[in-house]
Amino acid sequence: MDKLEIRGGHRLDGEVRISGAKNSALPILAGTLLAGGPVVLGNVPHLNDVTTTVKLLRRMGVEVTFHDGVRIEVDPRSLTEHIAPYELVKTMRASILVLGPLVGRYGKADVSLPGGCAIGARPVDLHVAGLKAMGATISIENGYIRARAKQLRGTRIVLDTVTVTGTENLMMAAVFARGETLIENAAREPEVVDLANFLNALGARIEGAGTPTIRIQGVDSLEGGSYTVMPDRIETGTYLVAGAITGGRVRTLRTRPDDLDAVLQKLREAGAEITIGADWIELDMGGRRPVAVDIRTAPFPGFPTDMQAQFCALNAVASGTGTITETIFENRFQHALELQRMGANLSIQGNMVVCRGVERLTGAPVMATDLRASASLVLAGLAASGTTTIDRIYHIDRGYECIEEKLLQLGADIRRIAS
């Protein structure tokens, strides 16, 4: 398994181009199953999760071709199978996103239950309940969700919990449903809006994405078309924290400042100077040590849970004591245990990490456990004295395109060790 080796203590200074958003590319790729012709997608990031999704589509008989390494063309008209097999779903839970389109368009889907993951149980009961409310017959057999429906019918769905992929799955399922579907207590994440904009570009009739109430009028069919995936707000936030934790200056290019209000507010509280333009954000720490901040994760527009681990690393070297409360997932502090091994002075109290910053972390061999935890360890390694070696970095390759190249561009001393 590859490792990343980081020699810390270098103040980052430079610019980095942000890639397309993983959590938008994945639902949009699933949404191509609804298209009536070829779809060309731009700004799709080169990530393992995208590769897995393409493998899943191809396995269903969908034609996928890569153009000039930047655009992907997907033609669902050759689809032959409606199955998302365990061997693929177990490597990427987001495969559940084919459930809604398959049932909504083809009336049939056999999708492996994703099971839990490092950060929590991650049930999909709300996805299933919503489809049942729309008239699907669903049984859980041998670890698979087997869904059948002649034609889904529009209805009012009130989600018990704000769920991002649950909202996305039900929105896609509703595109061809008979009549109007209302999704209440819907997720408001920018990636939900990006998916709605993509589907509307093909002829869907979706209103209210980005608000707690999404209204979908069923249509008979969609066209093909083209769409450019939004920039990745979590990648953006991660590189801004890289600037903050090393006392440096980082400008993120081709991003969307509006998606990061809660994160930018906390970075300012930590003492960073933030300037923003139409499609760029610059953080300048001016060599200052960050000030500890208190974070409480929440659904968008609250502070994103996917940025929690990164701020845990920032608090680990900040002046003062900061608390981080995780309200979305039940087990998302595994990075904290590894940070302790690098000298962080923190304690885990239920769903809160209380951290009293130290002047300097010390490099150590550490292990990545999930995508954002691995980002947190990279950030800590950048700030630590000495060498940090991060194992199991397949986690990080799922969500960060060319991470070592981008960090090298910013002046980090980092290399990948193939093993």
Query: Any idea which residues carry the catalytic annotation?
Result: 117
What is the side-by-side order of every strand in the sheet holding 108-112?
Answer: 83-84, 108-112, 144-148, 137-141
Of these, 329, 333, 336, 407, which contacts ligand EPZ (CB under 6 A)? 329
**HSE-up (13 A, CA, CB side) for residue 273:** 8
Distance of closest approach, residue 284 Cβ to ligand EPZ, in angstroms? 27
> Is the CB of 234 or the CB of 272 nearer to ligand EPZ?
234
Complex with ligand EPZ: residue 45 or 224, whichever CB lies closer: 45
Question: Considering the complex, what minimum distance in angstroms separates the CB of residue 192 from ligand EPZ?
Answer: 9
Chain centroid to CA 68: 25
The token pair at 146 is 């087997």
The rounded distance, in Å, linking the Cα atoms of 225 and 199 is 10
In the complex, least distance from residue 280 CB atom to ligand EPZ, rounded to whole angstroms: 23
Residues in region 256-315 near ligand EPZ by CB under 6 A: 305-306
Which residues contact residue 338 at a Cβ distance below 8 angstroms, ignoring those fewer than 6 apart? Answer: 366, 367, 369, 373, 377
| Residue nearer to ligand EPZ on the CB measure, 32 or 163 | 163
In this complex, which beta carbon is closest to ligand EPZ, that of residue 98 or of residue 285? 98
Measured from the CB of residue 200, what is the shortest distance to ligand EPZ in angstroms?
19
Q: How far is the CB of 333 from ligand EPZ (least distance, A)?
A: 14
| 161 touching ligand EPZ, by CB under 6 A | yes
Which residues neighbour 51 within 8 Å (Cβ) at sequence distance 6 or greater? none
Closest CA to 97 of 199, 184, 185: 199
Reading the block at residue 410, the tokens are 């910013």
Residue 324 interacts with ligand EPZ (CB under 6 A): yes or no: no
Do residues 316 and 338 lie in contact, with contact meaning Cβ atoms separated by under 8 Å? no
Query: Is residue 210 a contact point for ligand EPZ (CB under 6 A)?
Result: no
Q: What's the CA gap between 251 and 369, in Å, rounded?
A: 28
Among 29, 57, 209, 328, binds ligand EPZ (CB under 6 A): 328
In terms of CB distance, is 305 or 315 closer to ligand EPZ? 305
Contact status: 349 vs ligand EPZ (CB under 6 A): no
- Is 123 a binding residue for ligand EPZ by CB under 6 A? The answer is yes
- Alpha carbon distance 223, 145 (integer Å): 28
Q: Does 208 bind ligand EPZ (CB under 6 A)?
A: no
Tally helices (H) and strands (E) across the chain. Answer: 14, 24
- How far apart CA 374 and CA 391 sit, in angstroms, is 9
Q: Please select the residue that binds ligand EPZ; options are 62, 94, 157, 382, rule is CB under 6 A.
A: 94
Residue 134 phi, psi dihedral angles, 5° rounding:
-90, 5
Query: Per CB under 6 A, does 225 bind ligand EPZ?
Result: no
Q: What residues numbered 175-194 form the site for ligand EPZ, per CB under 6 A?
A: 187
**Residues from 351 through 380 that contact ligand EPZ (CB under 6 A):** 371-372
Q: Which uninterrupted H or E stretch holds 395?
A: helix 394-397
Chain residues binding ligand EPZ by CB under 6 A are: 22-23, 26, 94, 120, 122-127, 161, 163-166, 187, 305-306, 328-329, 371-372, 399
